[in-house]
Structure 1
Amino acid sequence: MSQTNEKTRSKVTCQIVTCGHLATLLYFFKKYKRKLYMPNENPIEEAKKIISGIQQFVGIRDVFGDNKELRWSPLSVVGILVSWCVGVAFLYTGPFSEIMYLVSVFPDKVDSFKAVNLISATCVPISKYIFMWTSRNRLKTIMKMSHEGLGVLPEGSPARARMLQTLHKAQGVSWLVILNQAIVHIGYLLLPLFLTVFMNGRYLPTTGESYGLTPKYETPYYEATFVITCVATAFSAINQTGYIVLFVTLVAHELGHFYVITETFNEIYKLSSATRENDDLRKEIDEKLTFCIRHHQFLIKYHGKISELYQAILGAQFLIMIIVLVTTLQTMYYWHFSNTIITGVAGIMPLTIYCFGGELIISTAENMSEAIYSCGWEMMEPRQARAVGFILCISQRPLHLTAAGVTTMNRDTFANVVQAVYKIYAVFN
C-alpha cells in the first residue's frame, strides 16, 4: 500500500514539475521575445560570445581558437582548477560509482541493467566535454567560413536579410535552450531538497544506487554527498548547454546558406519573364546565376566541415543513447517512476535534437532544389538554362548529417531507432 502511494505521489510530482516547467518557458518567451530576437550587428560573433561564456564555467577558455596566446591570470588558473575538481566530482558520482555498483551486483539481470543504464547516461555529457575540448581548430575554420559566407552577400539584398533573420532566430533559440536547461536542472536539484525537508526521509538528486563503495542513503556524510551531487549536476548541465547551443548555431548557419540560394532563385523567377525584352535583366540574371553556382560550392565545403566535425561524436552518442533507451525499458517495471522518466528523457532528447537538425537540413535542401527547378529556366536563353540545369544537378547530391558515416540523422532514423529499441526489449522479455 505504501509503495502504491509513493508511486502515485511521484507521478503527481512529475506532472506538477512538467506543467510548471512549460508554463515558465512560455512566460519568459512571451516577456522577452523581442529581446531574444533583437538584431545584432554581427550575430556570428554574438553566438561565439554566448558559447564561450558558457564553456568558461567548465574550464574551456578558448572554444573557437581565437586567442593564440591566452593570458593566464591567477583568477583564471583558480577557475580552471575548480572546474576540473567539479569534473572529478561528476566522474565520482556518475560512471565511477555505477561501475562499482555493476561489479557488486553482477550477474543479477535487473540491477545490472540499472547500472549499465546509468553508466551510459553519464557517458553522454563526458563525450560532449571531450568534444568541446578537442574541436578548437575545426571550429576556428568553420567560424572563419561563416564570416566569409556572410561577407559575400550584397548589402540590402533579400538573401542577406534572410540570412541575418535565420541567425537572429538561432540566437533566440539558443537563449531558450539556456533557459530550459537552467529550469530543468534547478528543479532537478531543488525537488530532492524539498522532499528531504518535508517528507522526513533522505533524497538525493541522482538516479544511481550507490556512491563509490557505499549505498547512497547509507553514507554517513549525507550533506556532503548532497553538495557533491549538486556540483556535479551543475557541471554536466553547463557543459551540455554549451554543446547544444553550438549545435543549434552551426545548423542555423548552414540553413541560412540554403535560404540564401533559395531566395536568390526566387528573385530570378521574378526577372525571368521579362528577359527577352530587357538586356539589363538578362545581365542581372547572369550575375545571380554565377553567384548561386559559387555559393553552392561554398555551401558544399561548409557542410563538409560541419559533417566532419560531428560525424564521430554523433556516432558515439548514437550508440550510447540506444543503450540508454534499451536499458530504460528493461528496468521500467523495477525502478522508481521518476528514475525511468529522467533516464528515458536523457536518452531520447539528444537523439531528438540531432534527428530534428538533420531533418531540417534535408528538407531545406529539397526546398532549394524546388526553387531552382521553378526559377523559370524554360524562358531563359539556352546558356542560362544550362547553368540552371548544372546547379540543379549538383543540388541533387544529398547533404545530411551522419552518425559515424553510417546512419543518416533524420526523422526516419528516429522512428527506426524507436522500433529497434522496442524489438530488443521484446526479445529480452
Structure 2
Amino acid sequence: MSLWSTIRKFGLGYCDLPTMLWNVSFMLRALTLNIDSRYKKPIPLIFYIIFALVAASYFYIYLISMAWFVFWHSRETGDLVAAMVVASLGISSEIGTAKLIYMFLYRNKVRELVDMYLDCDALVKPGSRFSNNLTKTLRNVKKRAMIFWIVIMGNGVVYVLKPLLTPGRHFMEDLFTPYGFDPVYESPNYEIVFLLMTGGVIFTCYLPANITAFLIIITGYTEGQMLALSKEMLNLWSDAQQFYLDHRTFDVGTTRPVVTLDSEQKTKKKIVNEYVKKRLHEMIKIHTTNINLLHHVERVYRGAIAIEFGILIIGLIFELLGGLENTYLEVPYALMQVAMDCLTGQRVMDASKAFEDAVYDCKWENFDVANMKTILLMLQNSQKTMRLSAGGVTTLSFSSLMMVFRSIYSAYTTLRTTMNK
C-alpha cells in the first residue's frame, strides 16, 4: 500500500468502522498502546524511545517543576497570578495522563470492546438501507472526531509557535520558571527548557486528542446503529407490504394470484405479519447488542471520564483565576474536551430517543396481537434511554455541560472575592 493511500484512509472518504478503528489504533501505537487485536506486529522500539523522552519531559515540566513553582517559588516571590497560571497548566495537563493510565489498566477490556464492535459491524449487510443510513451517521462521527483532533493538536501547535513568533526570547508561559534552570533565558538553559516544554505540550495534547477520538468513534457507532434502526422501524410496515407484493404466488401464464379474492386478505395478513415478526426479532437483537456495547463502554470509561471532569473543572477555575489574558490559549483546550464529552453523550441520548419515537410511530396498530405485544416490549425497553455518565455521578449531556459552566463560574467568583479581600 502506498503512503498516499494510507494517508487517504484518515479522510472522510473512509468512514466504515474497521477503517476508523484502524485510524485511531495507528495513532495510539505511538503511545506504545495496542487496542486492536488485528495488529499482530509488535510496536517498534523507536516508539518506546520517543514516548519515554516525551513523557519524561512532561513529568519534569508539568508535574515536578509545576509543584515546585506553585508551592515554593511563588510563595517566595509572592506572585499569586503566576502561581494560578502555572497550577492551571499542571492540572489541565493531567487529563491525558489519567486517560492513558485507564487505557493501559483496561487495555485487555478495550481490545475486547474493539472486537465486539467489529463483530457487530460484520453483521451489517453491505449496500442495504440500514448500511447506507449507518454510513451517513458514521461520516458525521468521523468529522466530529477529526474536528476535535485538529482543535486539540492545533491548540498545541499555536501554543508552541507563539513564543517563536514573538521577538526576543520567550517561553510558552514566561511566568513559569522550571526547577533547576535559573537563569532560564541564558544559553543553554533556554534551549533545553524550550525543548522540554515542547515535549510536554506534545504529550499533553496528543494523549487526549487520540484517546477521546477513540471514544467518539465507538459511541458514535452506537449512535449510528440506533438512528439507522429508527429508519428501519419507520419503514417496517411499508416494507412488509412490499414484501407481500414481491412474494405473491401467481398462476402460470397469468397475473392472477392462486388464492381466491376472499382468502387473499387473510393470506396477506399472515404473510405481512410473519415478515414483521421476523424483522422485529432482528431489531430487538440489534437494539440489545448496542445496549450491551454501551454498557461495556460505560464500565471501562466511567472512572476516566469522572476524573477528567474533576480535573477540567479545577483547571478551568485556576485558568480564570490566573486571568484570561494569561490563559487564553489554555481555556479552549479544556473547554473543547468537556464540551466534546457532553456532545458525545447527548448524541447517544438523542439517537436512543429517536428509536423510542420510531417504535411508537411504526404503525403498530396494523400488526396482529402477537406483534403488538412485541412492540409494547420494545417500547418499554426503548424508554430506558441509553446514556454515558461521568462515574455515575452525572449524565454526559448538554444539561451537564451547562451545570459544569455554572459550577465553574460560581467557584471562580467565590475564590476571586476571597483573593481580593
TM-score (norm 2): 0.83
- Cα displacement (A) at 1:372: 0.4
Question: Could you tell me which of 87, 94, 101 is aligned with 1:123?
Answer: 94
Quick one: which amino acid aligns to residue 64 of structure 1?
A: D
Is this contact kept in 1: 2:220–2:348, CA < 8 A?
no
Which residue of structure 2 aligns with residue 205 of structure 1?
172
Which residue of structure 2 aligns with residue 365 of structure 1?
352
In the aligned structure 2, how far is the partner of 1:422 from the partner of 1:82?
Answer: 39
In the aligned structure 2, how far is the partner of 1:147 from the partner of 1:224?
Answer: 45
- Cα displacement (A) at 1:360: 0.7
Quick one: which amino acid aligns to residue 22 of structure 2?
A: K
Which residue of structure 1 aligns with residue 201 of structure 2?
233
Is this contact kept in 2: 1:37–1:172, CA < 8 A?
yes
| Counterparts of residues 14-413 of structure 1 (less than 5 Å) | 36-39=11-14, 43-60=16-33, 62-67=34-39, 71=42, 76-104=44-72, 105-106=74-75, 110-195=81-166, 199=167, 201-206=168-173, 209-214=176-181, 217-218=184-185, 220=187, 221-271=189-239, 278=268, 279-332=270-323, 337=325, 339-413=326-400
RMSD across aligned C-alpha pairs, in angstroms? 2.7
Report the CA distance shift for 1:123/1:182 in structure 2 as closer, same or farther (over 3 A): closer
Deviations 1:131-179 (A, max 9, x none): 3323321222222221222223334321122223333443344444444
Question: Could you tell me which of 382, 386, 404 is aligned with 1:417?
Answer: 404
In the aligned structure 2, how far is the partner of 1:65 from the partner of 1:216?
Answer: 49
In the aligned structure 1, how far is the partner of 2:215 from the partner of 2:277?
Answer: 36
Is this contact kept in 2: 1:321–1:351, CA < 8 A?
yes
Deviations 1:50-70 (A, max 9, x none): 11221232333x2234457x5
Q: Considering only CA atoms, is the larger Rg found in Structure 1 or Structure 2? A: 2
Deviations 1:313-364 (A, max 9, x none): 10001111110121122221xx7x1x32122222211100000111111111
Deviations 1:351-403 (A, max 9, x none): 00000111111111111100000001112111111110100001111211111
Is this contact kept in 1: 2:91–2:315, CA < 8 A?
yes
In the aligned structure 1, how far is the partner of 2:100 from the partner of 2:39?
Answer: 20
> Which sections of structure 1, spanning at least 5 residues, go unmatched?
1-31
> Which sections of structure 2, spanning at least 5 residues, go unmatched?
1-6, 245-264
How many residue pairs get matched? 383
* Aligned residues with identical type, % of pairs: 16
Report the CA distance shift for 1:280/1:406 in structure 2 as closer, same or farther (over 3 A): same
Is this contact kept in 1: 2:169–2:185, CA < 8 A?
no
In the aligned structure 2, how far is the partner of 1:35 from the partner of 1:151?
Answer: 21
TM-score (norm 1): 0.81
In the aligned structure 2, how far is the partner of 1:348 from the partner of 1:35?
Answer: 25
Is this contact kept in 1: 2:389–2:395, CA < 8 A?
yes
In the aligned structure 2, how far is the partner of 1:271 from the partner of 1:364?
Answer: 22
Quick one: which amino acid aligns to residue 44 of structure 1?
A: L
Report the CA distance shift for 1:212/1:149 in structure 2 as closer, same or farther (over 3 A): same
Report the CA distance shift for 1:256/1:374 in structure 2 as closer, same or farther (over 3 A): same
In the aligned structure 1, how far is the partner of 2:10 from the partner of 2:320?
Answer: 42
In the aligned structure 1, how far is the partner of 2:121 from the partner of 2:364?
Answer: 27
Is this contact kept in 1: 2:241–2:272, CA < 8 A?
no
In the aligned structure 2, how far is the partner of 1:204 from the partner of 1:172?
Answer: 33
Quick one: which amino acid aligns to residue 294 of structure 2?
A: H
In the aligned structure 2, how far is the partner of 1:159 from the partner of 1:216?
Answer: 64
Deviations 1:119-140 (A, max 9, x none): 2112112112223323321222
Report the CA distance shift for 1:80/1:255 in structure 2 as closer, same or farther (over 3 A): same
Mean Cα deviation higher: 348-357 or 129-138:
129-138
